[in-house]
Every structure is written in C-alpha cells, then in structure tokens.
C-alpha cells in the first residue's frame, strides 16, 4: 500500500477533515488539488479574521527530529519492528503498528517505519520541547540497537 493510501485510510478512520503528508501534500476529502486547498484556507482565514501568520502562531509549537538507521544485510524490517515493540520501555500511553511502530506519550511521540526504497528504517520524533524530542530519539534508538 502506498503512503497516500495509508493517509486516506487513516483520515477516514479518524474522521479527520484534512490529511498531511511529510513532503507537503495535503489531502482534502479525496482531492489533492492546490486551488481547492487555497480556497479552503481563504475560507478559514476569512471566518477567523486572521492572517495566515496569526493563525499559525495560535497553534502550539512542537519540535521534530528525523533520523534513519541502516539495517545489516539480511535483516528484515518487519522482524526488527516486531522486536522493537518488546525492547522499548512500556511507559507509553499507546502503541500502534498500522504503518511501522508508533509510540505515543503525553508530551510527544515517535514512529519507526521501514523505508520503501532502502534497507533501512526511518525514525520520526515529535516532542513538546526540543529536549523531549531528543529523549524520544534516544528511547527509539536504544530499542532499535537491541532489536537488530
């Protein structure tokens, strides 16, 4: 399944109005049309009486880190991800494995997923503070090191 299909599926399951992909693509209903997005954004800004920079400033700030780990020859990403679930501390709020292993905490999350193009896993972290994002990086990398 392509990332676009995962995004559409997750958007439907969650009842979300908008889906965003890391590379900047936006999914509204089943459309990815720029003019449609521009119209939706213009409507939101008009209804709120805000400029785009004011609207963006009203949202909380989170810190993101992106990382990757090359897998040794012959190591299957699925086996590594299965083992990762057992190797990370169990103090998280939620773990989901729809597209890799996503671990949610009250103040951040991380996602470890297989690369679709290279023999590696990609790791994404987000925390309410930069220090928390770095801590989540250490937790995931420790779990990966013990899973490979």
Give me the domains of the chain, ranges plus CATH numbers: 3-57 (no CATH), 63-145 (3.30.310.50)
Confidence label for 148 from pLDDT (cuts 50, 70 and 90): confident
Confidence label for 18 from pLDDT (cuts 50, 70 and 90): confident
Percent of the chain scoring above 90 in pLDDT: 64
* Whole-number Å distance between alpha carbons of 114 and 3: 12
**Cβ contact 68:57 at 8 Å:** no
Confidence label for 117 from pLDDT (cuts 50, 70 and 90): confident
Q: What is the pLDDT of residues 21-56, one digit of tens each?
A: 666 666 666 566 677 778 888 998 999 999 999 999
CA end-to-end span of the chain: 25
**Cβ contact 110:136 at 8 Å:** yes
Q: What is the pLDDT of residues 79-113, one digit of tens each?
A: 999 999 999 999 999 999 988 999 999 999 999 99
Average pLDDT, the chain: 87
Q: Please, how many CA atoms are within 13 Å of residue 99, restricted to the half-sphere of its CB? A: 15
């Amino acid at each position: 399944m392509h990332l676009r299909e995962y995004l559409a599926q997750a958007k439907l399951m969650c009842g979300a109005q908008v889906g965003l992909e890391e590379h900047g693509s936006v999914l509204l209903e089943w459309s990815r049309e720029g003019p449609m997005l521009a119209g939706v954004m213009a409507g939101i800004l008009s209804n709120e009486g805000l400029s785009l920079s004011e609207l963006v400033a009203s949202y909380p700030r989170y810190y993101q880190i992106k990382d990757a780990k090359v897998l040794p020859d012959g190591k299957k990403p699925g086996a590594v991800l299965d083992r990762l679930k057992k190797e990370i501390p169990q103090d998280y709020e939620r773990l989901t494995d729809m597209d890799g292993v996503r671990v949610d905490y009250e103040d951040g999350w991380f996602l470890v997923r297989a690369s679709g193009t290279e023999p590696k896993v990609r790791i994404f972290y987000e925390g309410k503070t930069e220090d928390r994002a770095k801590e989540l990086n250490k937790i995931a990398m420790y779990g990966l090191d013990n899973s490979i």
